[in-house]
């Protein structure tokens, strides 16, 4: 029986991910090492006999941020149609893959809006909050971000995307007998650390306040069924 999957890909390493700075709206590029590692991930995990089979992808959602879009480019999936953005770097050699999935940029999977906490680290945020008289240790999953998004606001947009995936892409194939006529059902999402963990929690029915059960390092790949 067909069991379609959702692949979660966190963008590759940036200078701010290295230093632990919260990077939401700020649009910064991957480091050279980040690009190399994502290329290696694509070579290892993409192919007809690999984890991500390009011809089995029904739709691809990518964050509006260029670090996520460049990460997608470096996976080298063999997309047949033009990308919905101006390519951010040199084109990779043809890997021999063919992928007919639609590539879609959506605000629903952009990173958490960190508001006043943009560009600073967790210890710095906790120090600021202590000076403001907030004695409880800061937890983004419970407290959200001053001047940015709350957990409820993030939940609303990831839930919207989850509903679309389940109805539009998984619904037509889930539980059906595998056959040549069955349309592709896998979905790929390329985005950011906090929003992808929020997506995963909501996918399995947990609230954001429950806290994440997994980490996704820069350039990491996760799978949901």
Q: Which residues are tagged catalytic?
A: 11, 111
Q: What residue spans of the chain are helical by DSSP H?
A: 15-19, 32-45, 66-75, 122-131, 140-143, 151-164, 193-203
**By three-state DSSP, how is residue 215 classified?**
coil
Task: Provide the β-strand partners of residue 189.
Answer: 8, 61
Evaluate whether 97 touches 77 at the Cβ level (below 8 Å).
Answer: yes
Give the closest residue to 73 by CA, choosing from 11, 16, 127, 155.
Answer: 11
**By three-state DSSP, how is residue 216 classified?**
coil
Task: Provide the β-strand partners of residue 11.
Answer: none
Rounded to 5 degrees, φ, ψ at 108 are -65, -20
């Amino acid at each position: 029986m067909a069991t379609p999957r959702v692949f979660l890909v966190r963008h590759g390493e940036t200078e701010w991910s290295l230093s632990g700075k919260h990077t939401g709206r700020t649009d910064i590029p991957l480091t050279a090492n980040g690009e190399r590692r994502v290329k290696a991930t694509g070579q290892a995990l993409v192919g007809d006999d690999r984890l991500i089979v390009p011809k089995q992808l029904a739709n691809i959602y990518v964050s509006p941020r260029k670090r996520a879009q460049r990460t997608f480019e470096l996976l080298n999936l063999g997309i047949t149609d033009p990308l919905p953005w101006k390519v951010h770097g040199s084109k990779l050699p043809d890997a021999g893959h063919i992928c007919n999935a639609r590539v879609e940029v959506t605000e629903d999977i952009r990173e958490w809006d960190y508001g006043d906490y943009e560009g600073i680290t967790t210890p710095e945020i906790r120090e600021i909050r202590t000076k403001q008289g907030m004695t409880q240790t800061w937890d983004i999953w419970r407290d959200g971000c001053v001047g940015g998004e709350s957990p409820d606001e993030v939940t609303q947009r990831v839930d919207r995307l989850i509903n679309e995936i389940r109805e539009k892409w998984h619904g037509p194939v889930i539980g059906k007998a595998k056959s040549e006529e069955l349309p592709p059902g896998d979905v790929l999402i390329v985005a950011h650390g906090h929003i992808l963990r929020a997506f995963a929690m909501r996918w399995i029915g947990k609230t954001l306040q429950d806290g994440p059960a997994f980490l996704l390092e820069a350039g990491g790949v996760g799978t949901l069924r």
